[in-house]
């Protein structure tokens, strides 16, 4: 699936870390692949896998879990995978329709980090916008204006802005944030 994994298969060495992601429409996968590429360029060895492959975390020195925002929480597949993890140094990255500096995004990051902290050591959480499924935007447009998801000009503008993400700046910021998470966790072994 990825060159790092093939290399590890050849040398028989376990990967240093695991990047596992859940993505419905591709935004979070895009970030995960950028982080994996950025890490490879920096000499940080990691296995990259979609959550559907249910990668075995055993022996991973750290884990980065990617998720997308679904009704104010991480998506179900990411949360399910998280439930099976215990004792790991675990960082998060995710995409959402809301602005990353909004109260909604801050609440999401806090909720997710609290879930990580139940059984693992949280390393941080990077969030950026990701384009919203146009079918969802159309559904919201059909709602009355006073509905919590009813569309007004401010919300339309947010959906238009989300459609531009993740962009190059988001990918660079994700690599930097995740590199810092890993650096903060270095020197200690994994839980596996």
Ligand X SMILES: Cc1cc2nc3c(=O)[nH]c(=O)nc-3n(C[C@H](O)[C@H](O)[C@H](O)COP(=O)(O)O)c2cc1C
**Binding-site ranges for ligand X (CB under 6 A):** 23-28, 68-72, 95-98, 104, 130-133, 136
| Joined tokens for residue 109 | 């990051």
User: Minimum Å distance from CB 25 to ligand X?
Assistant: 3
In terms of CB distance, is 1 or 76 closer to ligand X?
76
User: Minimum Å distance from CB 96 to ligand X?
Assistant: 3
Would you call 33 helix, strand, or coil by DSSP?
helix
User: Minimum Å distance from CB 189 to ligand X?
Assistant: 31
Distance CA(151)–CA(129), nearest Å, equals 18
Distance CA(157)–CA(89), nearest Å, equals 37
User: Minimum Å distance from CB 87 to ligand X?
Assistant: 27
In terms of CB distance, is 18 or 69 closer to ligand X?
69
Residue number, nearest CB to ligand X = 130
Distance CA(142)–CA(165), nearest Å, equals 24
Asked if residues 181 and 91 have their Cβ atoms less than 8 Å apart, the reply is yes
In terms of CB distance, is 21 or 89 closer to ligand X?
21
Asked if residues 85 and 57 have their Cβ atoms less than 8 Å apart, the reply is yes
In terms of CB distance, is 117 or 136 closer to ligand X?
136
Distance CA(82)–CA(112), nearest Å, equals 10
């Amino acid at each position: 699936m990825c060159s790092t994994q093939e290399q590890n298969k050849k040398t028989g060495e376990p990967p240093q870390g695991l990047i596992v992601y859940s993505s419905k429409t591709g935004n979070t996968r895009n970030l995960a692949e950028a982080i994996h590429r950025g890490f490879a360029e920096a000499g940080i060895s990691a296995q990259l896998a979609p959550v559907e492959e249910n990668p075995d975390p055993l022996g991973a020195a750290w884990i980065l879990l990617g998720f997308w925002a679904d009704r104010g929480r991480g998506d179900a597949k990411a949360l399910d995978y998280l439930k099976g993890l215990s004792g790991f140094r675990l960082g998060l990255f995710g995409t959402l329709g809301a602005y990353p500096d909004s109260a909604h995004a801050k609440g999401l990051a806090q909720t997710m980090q609290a879930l990580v902290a139940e059984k693992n050591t949280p390393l941080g959480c990077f969030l950026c916008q990701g384009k919203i499924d146009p079918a969802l935007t159309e559904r919201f447009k059909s709602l009355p204006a006073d509905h919590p998801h009813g569309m007004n000009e401010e919300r339309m503008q947010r959906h238009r802005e989300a459609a531009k993400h993740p962009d190059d700046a988001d990918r660079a910021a994700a690599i930097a944030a995740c590199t810092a998470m890993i650096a903060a966790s270095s020197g200690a072994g994994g839980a596996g």
